[in-house]
């Protein structure tokens, strides 16, 4: 696929994000390609899905700000990223994020939507949306708090605090740390371990666990629609893009 590299193995599906010129920033084209993979994988033989980056030292820098700046309330109500992460979390089989490098904004929310997370020492996690005049409306407002606790979530959301790999492990945001050169292999080993269980029991266990997670997605989508129309959002994102160009 154009922005993804797929590697199918018995019981394992590796989905490599491959947009290095934009630091794997999530634009609508990449969202659509991941959606296509999810649909096909749900019909294919059971497999644990691993999301990783083809480029070492890079996971997902966030949503594509150049595209996000021009989205309006109608775009927000389409739930472009939030809808993808809902479908990723609801995928029939377990999913693993292998995070090497920054996972900011939508990149952190992408990792949060996976069942398990491994990272390298170079991993960094942050939710800087409030600095851009929007909110973490694709799951950061609730998945983060449920995973790391309300105190850490408040610090990350209110201040844009960045968690390094050790902080992420201590807070429960990630499950294991591995050196970058071994990260994907460790994710495959974990996927193979998971895949030795009953696939039907795994599927039903995922369904059972989803009953325990209250979500704020409906509110987040409506709030994001309001923020997407604000001058503050446009000015902050324009300033961000200008700083990055310099």
Which residues are known to be catalytic?
Answer: 109, 129
Closest listed residue to residue 62, CA positions, set 240, 245, 228 = 240
Question: Are 173 and 123 spatial neighbours (Cβ–Cβ below 8 Å)?
Answer: no
Distance CA 179, CA 217 (A): 34
Question: Are 178 and 165 spatial neighbours (Cβ–Cβ below 8 Å)?
Answer: no
Burial of 177 (0-12, 13-18, 19+ CB in 10 A): middle
| 8: number of Cβ within 10 Å | 12
Distance CA 105, CA 64 (A): 10
DSSP assignment string, 91-156:
-SS-EEEEE-SEEETHHHHHHHTSSEEEE-TT-EEE--GGGGTS--TTTTTTHHHHHH-HHHHHHH
Structure tokens at 130: 């409030």
């Amino acid at each position: 696929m154009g922005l993804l590299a797929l590697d199918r193995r018995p019981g394992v599906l590796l989905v490599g994000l491959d947009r290095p010129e934009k630091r794997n920033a999530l634009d609508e084209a990449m969202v659509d390609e991941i959606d296509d993979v999810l649909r096909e994988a749900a019909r294919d033989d059971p497999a644990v899905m691993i999301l990783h980056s083809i480029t070492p030292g890079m996971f997902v820098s966030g949503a594509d700000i150049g595209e996000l700046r021009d989205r309006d309330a109608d775009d927000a109500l389409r739930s472009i990223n939030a809808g993808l992460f809902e479908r990723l979390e609801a995928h029939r089989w377990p999913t693993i994020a292998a995070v090497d490098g920054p996972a900011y904004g939508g990149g952190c929310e992408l990792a949060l939507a996976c069942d398990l997370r491994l990272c390298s020492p170079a991993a960094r996690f942050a939710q800087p949306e409030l600095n851009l005049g929007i909110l973490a409306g694709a799951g950061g407002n609730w998945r983060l708090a449920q995973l790391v606790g309300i105190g850490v979530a408040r610090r990350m959301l209110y201040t844009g605090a960045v968690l390094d790999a050790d902080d992420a492990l201590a807070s429960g945001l990630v499950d294991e740390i591995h050196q970058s050169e071994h990260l994907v292999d460790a994710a495959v080993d974990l996927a193979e371990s998971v895949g030795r269980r009953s696939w039907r029991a795994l599927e039903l266990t995922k369904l059972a666990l989803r009953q325990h997670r209250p979500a704020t997605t409906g509110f987040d989508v409506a709030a994001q629609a309001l923020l997407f129309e604000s001058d503050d959002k446009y000015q902050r994102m324009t300033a961000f893009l200008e700083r990055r160009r310099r």
